[in-house]
Structure 1
Amino acid sequence: MTRSVPEARRGARSVLTEWRIPTGAAEAIELIVSELSTNAVRHARVPDRFFEVALTYDGEKAVEIEVSDASPRLPELQVPPLEAESGRGLPLVAALAESWELRGRVIGKTVWARVLTR
């Protein structure tokens, strides 16, 4: 379990470096991890704000990202007004990922995204 966005980002960067993911894909994955982790901390409204981050690499062409928290509240993809200072997390995920989806769990939810590495 993770409690901070910087911790999630550092962990992702370390794993992506170990897997030798190309720079462009690694930067997209780190940004997705950061945005989804921020959403988990900011919107889940769960005591202590713990969340989980999992990365899976198929060894060839894609990395899958899962960020899970205990809140059953599913986020909605909305395009914020230009002057808004927040609300761009899911639109960024949708733009950077090849595909993404929301998955309900027995306790909470998972936001899943897939980024191509080639």
Structure 2
Amino acid sequence: MKQVVTHVTPVPAAVPLLRAKTVDQLAEWAVTPKAVETAELVVCELATNAVRASRLQDEYIAIRLSATNGTVIIEVWSRNDDAEPRLVHPDEDSETGRGLAIIGALSTRWDAYRAQRGGIVVWAQFPGAILPEPGALADATPLSVRVAHRIPDPDPDLPAVEFNNDPDLLARVADRLRALDPWHDSPATPISATAPVFVASAPNTQKEGRDPS
């Protein structure tokens, strides 16, 4: 699994910052271009919702980006426990309320949960395989051939063990486990999305009042 967590101040400028960092990180991981395009749209909507849900006293929002087993997962945490997301159905002239609908259209799954230490996490997942490095398949060591062995019959005196592989049940278990992970905990210093960028300029060597010619 490839994974990275970013903390940033909850201001509007955080949205383009997180979009750029997400695109750059997935490109560095060699995730398929289609997944990168989807991630760019999804992270914009999730980050926008988190910024809007944040209050003046909230120091940061957090985003976790994961790529594993052909899937990309984007999770965004905000501290405001009262701002639980809900899907709305805006009319044609409405300019807001479409964020979660867009996420639902782009994702194979999305949901929200209350983090154990406070706050709300909204997450989405969608297909996104990591492309192999050039020549990696040609240089790969072939797997050894395994010989199949007969599986012994179960002991009739032992109790039978039933396994439940229902996808919906497994998904609910995974969601509960996510809520126990404090990945969003406060960093030493969150990235400031409003920090100014200083550009050095050439010193002025001309003396005031003199003709340079």
How does the TM-score come out when normalised to structure 1? 0.91
What is the aligned partner in structure 2 of residue 112 from structure 1?
A: 123
CA deviations 1:49-82 (Å, max 9, x no partner) are 6211111111x41011100010112111112111
What is the aligned partner in structure 2 of residue 68 from structure 1?
A: 77
AA aligned to 2:74 is I
Taking only the aligned residue pairs, the percentage that are identical comes to 34
CA deviations 1:4-45 (Å, max 9, x no partner) are 111111110111101112222111111111111001111233
SS at match of 1:80: coil
Match status 1:83 vs 2:93:
yes
Separation in structure 2 between the aligned mates of residue 98 and residue 107 of structure 1, nearest angstrom? 26
Separation in structure 1 between the aligned mates of residue 30 and residue 113 of structure 2, nearest angstrom? 28
Q: Of the candidates 109, 113, 118, which is equivalent to residue 103 of structure 1?
A: 113
Match status 1:41 vs 2:81:
no
The alpha carbon displacement at 1:48 in A equals: 5.0
Match status 1:53 vs 2:63:
yes
Q: Greater share of strand residues, 1 or 2?
A: 1
SS at match of 1:47: coil
Separation in structure 1 between the aligned mates of residue 31 and residue 89 of structure 2, nearest angstrom? 30
Contact 2:54 2:80 in 1 (8 A): yes
> Which moves more between the two structures, 1-10 or 31-40?
1-10
Task: Structure 2: give runs of 5+ residues left out of the alignment.
Answer: 1-6, 130-213
What is the aligned partner in structure 2 of residue 16 from structure 1?
A: 26
Separation in structure 2 between the aligned mates of residue 75 and residue 102 of structure 1, nearest angstrom? 7
> Which moves more between the two structures, 104-113 or 39-48?
39-48
Q: Greater share of helix residues, 1 or 2?
A: 1
What is the aligned partner in structure 1 of residue 8 from structure 2?
A: 2
SS at match of 1:114: strand
> Which moves more between the two structures, 37-46 or 88-97?
37-46
How does the TM-score come out when normalised to structure 2? 0.52
Q: Given the superposition, is the C-alpha separation of residues 76 and 83 from structure 1 closer, same or farther in structure 2, using an over 3 Å criterion?
A: same
Count of matched residue positions in the alignment of Structure 1 and Structure 2 = 117
Separation in structure 2 between the aligned mates of residue 35 and residue 46 of structure 1, nearest angstrom? 20
The alpha carbon displacement at 1:46 in A equals: 4.6
Contact 2:66 2:73 in 1 (8 A): yes
Separation in structure 2 between the aligned mates of residue 63 and residue 81 of structure 1, nearest angstrom? 31
Runs (4+) of structure 1 exceeding 4 A deviation are none
Q: Given the superposition, is the C-alpha separation of residues 87 and 49 from structure 1 closer, same or farther in structure 2, using an over 3 Å criterion?
A: farther
The alpha carbon displacement at 1:104 in A equals: 0.4
